[in-house]
Amino acid sequence: MACRLAKSVASQYHRIRELHIVAGQTACVGDYLWAALRDAGPAQKLASLTVALSEPTTATLPKLFSGKTPCLRKLALHRFTRWPGNTFNNLTHISLHNQPASERCTLAQFLDFIGSSPLLEELYL
């Protein structure tokens, strides 16, 4: 079931404008979905992305859409403290929830991250 769902989502990524992934923990999302979204190629139309884990974790967000989301404007991450390989530029809304204090990026890294979004209108921490 998970494999089929992952393939279905990945096969339609080029049409998706909003994607919201909510799971109990990283394992629930499944390697199938992460692999499918990682290899899907640039998400040309994706404007809003939410990835939320409800269980405590210090997970690193895997690389998604080959690291390219040129139209992404809204990003919400729950319990993720790192997102290497992902290029989140030109965001207007950033929402970071429940990041473990011991796992957060440095202030300089955070300022670089929000500096890549000069049109930022809303920052929720």
Q: Are 38 and 62 in contact (CB under 8 A)?
A: yes
Q: Are 48 and 74 in contact (CB under 8 A)?
A: yes
121 to 85, 90, 95: CA distances (angstroms): 24, 11, 11
In whole angstroms, what separates CA 54 from the centre of its chain?
Answer: 15
Q: Are 88 and 116 in contact (CB under 8 A)?
A: yes
pLDDT of residue 2: 56
Q: What is the pTM of this model?
A: 0.83
Higher pLDDT, 29 or 8: 8
Neighbours of 21 (CB within 10 A): 17
Assigned token pair, 10: 């990945």
Q: Are 87 and 112 in contact (CB under 8 A)?
A: no
pLDDT of residue 103: 82
Measured distance CA(26)–CA(72) in Å, rounded: 22
Higher pLDDT, 35 or 58: 35
pLDDT over 90 for what percent of the chain? Answer: 23
Measured distance CA(125)–CA(118) in Å, rounded: 18
Q: pLDDT, tens digit, for every residue of 53-91? A: 777 555 788 888 888 888 999 999 988 888 888 888 889
Higher pLDDT, 81 or 28: 81
With 90 as the cut, is the pLDDT of residue 3 above it?
no
> What ranges do the domains of the chain cover?
2-124
